[in-house]
Amino acid sequence: MLASQIAGTGPQRIHFVGIGGTAMVAGARLAVEAGCEVRGSDNALYPPTSEMVAALGVPVATAYAAENLYWRPDVVVIGNALSRGNPEVEAVLERKLHYVSLPEWLKDAVLRARRPVVVCGTHGKTTTTALAAFLLDRAGLEPGFLVGGQPLDFPYSARLGAEGAPFVIEGDEYDTAFFDKRSKFFHYLPEIAVVTSIEFDHADIFDDVAEIERAFQLMLRLVPRSGCTLLCADDARALALKDHAHSRVVTYGFTEDADWRIERLGYSKRGLTRAAVYRDGRPFVELDVPLAGRHNLQNVVAAVTVASLLGAAPDDMKKALPGFRGVRRRIEVFLEAKGVTFIDDFAHHPTAIRETIQAAREQWCGRSMDDGAGASHRGGRLWVLFEPRSNTTVTNRFQRELEDAFACADEVWLGPLYRPERVAPASRLDREGLVRALATHRVAAHCAADASEIVEHVADNAWRGDVVLVLSNGAFDGIHDKLREAFSSEQSLDQ
């Protein structure tokens, strides 16, 4: 497909400023598939985005500079992490170059010619997006997609797909760009809008949960009457959006009266979670789910509902789902060494942290496991290594909720606050207070000065059967590589 075909008379030379952002590298992938000439720029990157950018095979400058724009691009796509003062942003404004946000570019260049499925909500967006794209793909519907992470079942995090085909896109409520403070999902032209949950998050741009609810209410005004609004019946705020919908409303979840209900049945012979899905109270399909945790069953039924609405057959989904490999950094086993299992997850909101800890305990600590030599043993202790990094968790807004979330762990290590200068001292997360509070739950908790201190302690004290869960939405001071080095990987599972 020619670049001019994707965007009408649109640009063929596109520069992505901040190309290492998860969504930005996905957008650049779509532009490459469309035949555009693509370049970009960013600061130093870390996996998996560094690998995703390298796989684009396009020129990428390793620092921001006005000189990066001298190749005269037709349009500059500016990432939402960029702000005034950035040398490329200043050069774009001084030279009056044509610039857009990534969501604006996606709307005009990709989504208008397709059938957008916009997956929104505080939790589960990435996994649900990847699941829906996977089920549609395996059903032969050839969807396009943009996932806010690296799906392990596709070579890249985005695919253009054919015009007129479904396009599944992660719909973030975070703001669009320094010049457009609307939530990203306002640009995505939803034909089907999925809302998984609504909680307070993004403390840097929202004052309270009412502001977030208002953004979702306004987004639903964009769904055409012929479209569908899909709401999680287990989440009160998501379900309340039914009064703001202008299209057909469909509900899903565990709740008894949900239009699409999922019920956990136990475990299959292969150790996968066995679940039954009901549509309007009648059996629809039984599935073997290769994902841990109750929250992932909600994600599965949302994806099954989307795929069914778009024409996927239940037998196709039943056959495909056991092969779903997930998304990097979403309860991903990244290392097994010396009898210890290491899991990486992106969770940084207290609800996601709690659900992920419970899923890890259930999947790896609570059931018989095979040590690779034919012997079965019970899971050991659950270690949780957490980096307070997001604009919400560096604050004390969720001080008590974090205490409750970590109470299910056996041992917790808290890394230093990432860029604490963003928050006034009186409003920062009190790590020492959290350690004291966890002691009342009989959880051994500690504050660390850096990742090396944490890794040294884990290496000296973890024993066979233990599970180490790393929680961060960033690099965590290179803790993953430090753990690999300290444990002299007997078997690395992320290659």
Please state, in angstroms and rounded to a whole number, the distance separating the CA atoms of residues 276 and 265. 7
Question: pLDDT confidence of 366, banded at 50, 70, 90?
Answer: low
pLDDT digits (tens, 9 = 90+) for 409-451: 999 999 999 999 988 999 999 999 999 999 999 999 999 999 9
Given this model, what pLDDT does residue 10 score? 55
Q: Is the pLDDT of residue 368 over 80?
A: no
- CATH number at 110-323: 3.40.1190.10
Question: Edge to edge, what strands does the sheet with 411-414 contain?
Answer: 332-337, 340-345, 467-471, 382-386, 411-414, 444-447
Dihedral, 34, 36, 39, 45 alpha carbons, nearest 10: 0
CB neighbour list of residue 179: distance below 8 Å, 6 or more residues apart: 78, 101
Question: pLDDT confidence of 365, banded at 50, 70, 90?
Answer: confident
Query: Regarding predicted confidence, which is higher, 203 or 58?
Result: 58
Report the SS3 class of residue 333. strand
- What are the extents of the domains in the chain? 3-102, 110-323, 332-486
* Most confidently modeled range among 199-213, 360-374, 466-480: 466-480
CB neighbour list of residue 359: distance below 8 Å, 6 or more residues apart: 292, 293, 294, 295, 296, 331
Q: Is the pLDDT of residue 314 over 60?
A: yes
Given this model, what pLDDT does residue 16 score? 98
Whether 341 and 364 have beta carbons less than 8 Å apart is answered as: yes
Given this model, what pLDDT does residue 184 score? 95
Question: pLDDT confidence of 452, banded at 50, 70, 90?
Answer: very high
Supply 198's token pair.
Answer: 């609504």
Closest to 469 measured CA to CA, from 322, 362, 310, 315: 362
Given this model, what pLDDT does residue 372 score? 37
Given this model, what pLDDT does residue 9 score? 54
pLDDT digits (tens, 9 = 90+) for 99-112: 999 999 999 999 99
The class that CATH gives domain 3-102 is: alpha beta
Question: pLDDT confidence of 357, banded at 50, 70, 90?
Answer: very high
**Mean pLDDT for the chain overall:** 91
Q: What are the respective helix, strand and coil percentages of the chain, to the nearest 5?
A: 35, 25, 40
Question: pLDDT confidence of 376, banded at 50, 70, 90?
Answer: very low
Q: Is the pLDDT of residue 490 over 60?
A: no
Burial bucket for residue 412 (CB in 10 Å: 0-12, 13-18, 19+): buried
Query: Regarding predicted confidence, which is higher, 173 or 329?
Result: 173
pLDDT digits (tens, 9 = 90+) for 12-70: 899 999 999 989 999 999 999 999 999 999 998 877 788 889 999 999 999 999 999 99
Q: Is the pLDDT of residue 3 over 60?
A: no
- CATH number at 332-486: 3.90.190.20
Please state, in angstroms and rounded to a whole number, the distance separating the CA atoms of residues 64 and 86. 7
Buried b (16+ CB within 10 A) or exposed e, 269-298: eeebbbbebbbeeeebbebbbbbbbebbbb
Given this model, what pLDDT does residue 95 score? 96
Please state, in angstroms and rounded to a whole number, the distance separating the CA atoms of residues 489 and 59. 33
Question: pLDDT confidence of 11, banded at 50, 70, 90?
Answer: low
Q: Is the pLDDT of residue 115 over 70?
A: yes
Whether 274 and 99 have beta carbons less than 8 Å apart is answered as: no
pLDDT digits (tens, 9 = 90+) for 377-415: 345 899 999 999 988 899 998 899 999 999 999 999 999
Closest to 383 measured CA to CA, from 457, 309, 306: 457
**Beta partners for 336?**
341, 491
Given this model, what pLDDT does residue 403 score? 95
Please state, in angstroms and rounded to a whole number, the distance separating the CA atoms of residues 346 and 359. 14
pLDDT digits (tens, 9 = 90+) for 251-292: 999 999 999 999 999 888 788 999 999 999 999 999 999 998
Given this model, what pLDDT does residue 377 score? 38
Closest to 14 measured CA to CA, from 41, 43, 50, 49: 41
Percent above pLDDT 90 for the chain: 79
Given this model, what pLDDT does residue 370 score? 38
Supply 130's token pair.
Answer: 């990847």
